[in-house]
Structure formats: C-alpha cells, structure tokens
Amino acid sequence: MSTSSWLSVAEEVQDALAEGRPVVALESTIVAHGMPFPANLDTAREVESIVRAQGAVPATVAVVDGKLQVGCSEAILHRLASESGVSKVSRRDLPVVLAHGTLGATTVSGTLIGAGLAGIGVFVTGGIGGVHRGVADTWDISADLGELAQHNVAVVSAGAKSILDLPKTLEVLETQGITVLGYGTDEFPAFFTPRSGLAIAHRADSPEDVARMMRAKWGLGLTGGVLVANPVPESAGFDATSATEEALTAADRQGVEGKALTPFLLKFIAQATEGKSLAANVALVKHNAKVGGQIAKAYAAQG
C-alpha cells in the first residue's frame, strides 16, 4: 500500500493502519532544530511512550536514506537529535533531500505530507508555524498553513507559536478553510501560555467530539486539516513576552530570516529565560501527545 521508492512506512505503522488501529504521526524538526540536545531526545522518546500509553502507535516522520520515512527507529531518533547539519524539510525541500539521500527533519508541513501519504489521521506537534510578525516587509508565512489545507489530518498543537502574529495566523487559517477547534477553551492558546486573548469560533471538549468532526469533514469529502488548539497546562505555562521581544530584535539586527528564523527565536528565548521556555515547550508537547493519542483512539473507534 504505502511503500514506494520514495516512501517507507515502518511495519508496525503499516500493520496498525491496515487493521484500523490508532496511529499518531510526530514531526522531527522539533527534535533536530526546536530543542537542544539531550532535552530533544528525551522529549522525543517520552512523547512516543505517551502516545503508546494511550493505545496508539507513534510514527515519527523524517527523511532517511532517500525516503520519506513514516515511523523512525530509536537509532534514527538519536541521529536526528544529535547530529549537526540535519536539513529542515518542508515541501519545497523534500525533493532535494530525497535525491541527495541526506538526513532531514520534517517540519509540520513536511510531516503532514508523510502522514497524508500513509493515511494517518492524527498528528501531534508543539506549535504550528504561521504568519510571522513584520510579514508586510518579509512575506514570511510558514508553509505549515498551506499544507494544513491540503491533507486530511488533525493536528494537535498548543495554538501557534507566540513568536508569530497570531491574529493574522488565525485569518489565514480561516481563509484556507482549516477547522480550528479550541480544546476545552474558547480562546486561541499562545504556545508557552494558555491564553492569547483571541477568541476562536469553535471548540471541542472531548476526544470523541473531535473525532466526530474529523469524520464529518472528510466524510463529506472536504479536503483539509483540523487544528486542535490544546492549551499548555496552566501550571506549566510561562509568559515569555519580554524574551520574545528581545529575540525578535536580535533576529532583526543579525539579519536572521527564512527557515533559520524560528529555530533562532526558540533558542534565543530558551537562553534568555534560563530554560523556562524550554520546560514549557516540553510540557506542552507531552500534553499534546496525550490528547492526540486519545483523539486517535476515538477516531479509530468511530471508523
């Protein structure tokens, strides 16, 4: 079914999909570029085991040996977390990294392609990319937004990253027809913190509720994603507003742009907050993994 010369789906993942059992896709840019070693590796492993504890099979996506790999071994996770020079891969980069056979970490956008091709309905990340602040000058809008519109995948995310222009990010999500659901909230979460002050149109209060909306959207034949906006737990939330301002100023001064910008900002904020933002990031990803595993289970049960 899902293995071609450019795509490889791990056997465990293929078996689960064939039998209609729950599967959760996971991205790898957060491992290679979003967190420092060894917190990145510890988090990647813990996220996989949280997904398993909910009764779902984890499928970390990456580019390995000339294939888009859906479901990575422990050895590959270790390489993604520890090697330097791992590419950050979205749709435009995929052909190059595949052709060269080099190691690539997929962003939310790249991971959506793998999940879509394999037929995985639920995907867990930390926070999606979106419209960057200063977009009028830079035109920097994450490929995540366009890709979310193209695949029948529900993405569990702590809103969008607070380094972004969140009102404009919500506008693009609406234009692209992406169904944004506040998970137990009426407000769009802001990554490190549960609140942004921005109201969203729809909410869901249980995994079954989300799964039913996924079934409704795709059952009707509507293509495109569902964004489950799951707030960081209150106790783990952290206000990184001033560190974010500092990070944006530093990026501007140093001329950091393009694909380097998001990793630069996350690293700067983690250093400026002495690891407090990193702790919040780890906590929100783990929380998303739990909720994502539950949604995958409910989705499979409704199939």
Binding site for ligand PSU (CB under 6 A): 27, 29-30, 33-34, 107-109, 125-127, 129, 142-144, 259, 262, 266, 281, 285
Beta strands in the chain (DSSP E): 7-9, 23-26, 57-64, 67-70, 87-89, 104-106, 122-124, 154-157, 179-183, 202-204, 226-229
- Alpha-carbon span 222 to 151, nearest angstrom: 10
Q: Is 27 a catalytic residue?
A: yes
Smallest gap, in angstroms, from Cβ of residue 64 to ligand PSU? 17
Query: Closer CB to Mn ion, residue 27 or residue 140?
Result: 140
Smallest gap, in angstroms, from Cβ of residue 278 to ligand PSU? 10
Token pair belonging to 8: 């490889």
Stretch that binds Mn ion, among 12-20, 61-69, 135-143, 171-179 (CB under 5 A): 135-143
- Tell me which of Mn ion, ligand PSU, none is bound by residue 108, counting a contact when its beta carbon lies within the kind-specific cut-off of 5 to 8 angstroms: ligand PSU
Q: Is 286 a catalytic residue?
A: no
9 has which bridge partners?
Answer: 70
140 binds Mn ion, rule: CB under 5 A: yes
Query: Closer CB to ligand PSU, residue 121 or residue 126?
Result: 126
- Alpha-carbon span 146 to 172, nearest angstrom: 9
**Buried b vs exposed e over 252-269: b needs ≥16 C-beta within 10 Å?**
eeeebeebebbbbbbbbb
Residues 6+ apart with CB under 8 A from 75: none
Token pair belonging to 213: 């909306």
Describe the crossing of helices 207-219 and 276-301 by its angle, rounded to 10 degrees.
60
Query: Closer CB to ligand PSU, residue 35 or residue 211?
Result: 35
Token pair belonging to 265: 């900002």
- Tell me which of Mn ion, ligand PSU, none is bound by residue 178, counting a contact when its beta carbon lies within the kind-specific cut-off of 5 to 8 angstroms: none
Instruction: Tell me which residue of 203, 162, 160 sits closest to 180, measured CA to CA.
Output: 203
Judge whether 55 and 63 are in contact, CB under 8 Å. no
Q: Could you say which of 161, 259, 286, 297 is catalytic?
A: 161
Stretch that binds Mn ion, among 11-19, 139-147, 246-254, 292-300 (CB under 5 A): 139-147
Query: Closer CB to Mn ion, residue 140 or residue 147?
Result: 140
144 binds Mn ion, rule: CB under 5 A: no
State which of positions 178-237 bind Mn ion (CB under 5 A).
none
Count of residues interacting with Mn ion (CB under 5 A)? 1
Smallest gap, in angstroms, from Cβ of residue 33 to ligand PSU? 6
User: Cα–Cα distances in Å, from 298 out to 41, 59, 93, 123, 301?
Assistant: 28, 18, 34, 14, 5
Query: Closer CB to ligand PSU, residue 17 or residue 164?
Result: 164
- Tell me which of ligand PSU, Mn ion, none is bound by residue 281, counting a contact when its beta carbon lies within the kind-specific cut-off of 5 to 8 angstroms: ligand PSU
Stretch that binds Mn ion, among 107-115, 137-145, 163-171, 232-240 (CB under 5 A): 137-145
**Residue sitting closest to ligand PSU (CB):** 126
Residues noted as catalytic: 27, 161
